[in-house]
């Protein structure tokens, strides 16, 4: 199965007709028809229901469309990454952590870096220790921010000098003795 033929298939599926797809692709209709017929034979499935003026995807054709879009997108992304390797610093950075002061510090650093390297894109994921370590282990995060104490035995890590301050807020007319039972606080 050739990438060129998958692109042909996707164009026919998008345009809804062989004539329109052939014009977009700058190929003759017989060439396009032959390529798609060969694809159907290679897969052993009928991909289109043809009428005199349009085509409709079969169930197998809809599955191929979905997978072909994924394949073409991945190839395009790979080509773009290789094309830009020499030129600029860029890419996606995936960071996970809780709602902490350390995440605010990371966000500030990311903002500063992005002004120098605008082709770096940051994706922040909020979660607890289990969520973050699971995503790290699966390779879905590049790094994570965890609140101590955390099990760091299987990770390389550095400590970030951050201190979180927590508090309780409530309405002014709420009784404060309820909070004293829940959280031992110094007297108000």
Indicate the range of 38-52, 53-67, 157-171 predicted with least confidence: 157-171
Closest-CA residue to 91 (of 123, 57, 64, 69): 123
3-state secondary structure of 48: strand
Q: How confident is the model at residue 130 (pLDDT cuts 50, 70, 90)?
A: confident
> Domains of the chain by range and CATH?
3-83 (1.10.10.10), 89-188 (3.40.190.10)
Please tell me the distance from the alpha carbon of residue 176 to that of residue 136, in angstroms, as a whole number: 41
User: How many whole angstroms separate alpha carbon 14 and alpha carbon 7?
Assistant: 10
**Whether the Cβ atoms of residue 48 and residue 55 lie closer than 8 Å to each other:** yes
DSSP state of 85: T
Does residue 149 have a cis bond before it (omega within 30 degrees)? yes
Residues with Cβ within 8 Å of 58's Cβ and at least 6 positions away in sequence, in order, are 45, 46, 47, 48, 49
pTM (two decimals): 0.46
Tell me the sheet residues that pair with 57.
Answer: 48
The rounded distance, in Å, linking the Cα atoms of 77 and 73 is 6
pLDDT value for 84: 65
* pLDDT band at 45; cut points 50, 70, 90: very high
Q: CB of 168 within 8 A of CB of 179? A: yes
Give the pLDDT confidence score for residue 185 in this predicted structure. Answer: 46
Report residue 5 as tokens.
């033929």
């Amino acid at each position: 199965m050739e990438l060129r033929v998958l692109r042909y298939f996707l164009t026919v599926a998008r345009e809804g007709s062989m004539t329109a797809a052939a014009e977009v692709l700058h190929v003759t209709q017989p060439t396009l028809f032959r390529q798609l017929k060969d694809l159907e034979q290679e897969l052993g499935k009928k991909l289109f229901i043809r009428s005199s003026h349009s085509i409709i995807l079969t169930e197998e054709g809809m599955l191929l469309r979905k997978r072909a879009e994924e394949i073409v997108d991945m190839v395009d992304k790979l080509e773009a990454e290789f094309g830009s390797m020499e030129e600029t610093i860029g890419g996606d950075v995936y960071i996970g952590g809780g709602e902490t002061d350390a995440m605010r510090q990371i966000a500030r650093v990311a903002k500063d870096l992005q002004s120098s390297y605008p082709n770096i894109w940051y994706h922040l994921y909020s979660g607890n220790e289990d969520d973050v370590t699971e995503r790290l282990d699966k390779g879905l995060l590049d790094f994570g921010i965890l609140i101590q104490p955390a099990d760091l035995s299987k990770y390389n890590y550095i400590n970030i000098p951050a201190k979180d301050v927590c508090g309780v807020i409530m309405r002014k007319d709420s009784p404060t003795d309820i909070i004293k039972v829940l959280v031992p606080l110094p007297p108000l």
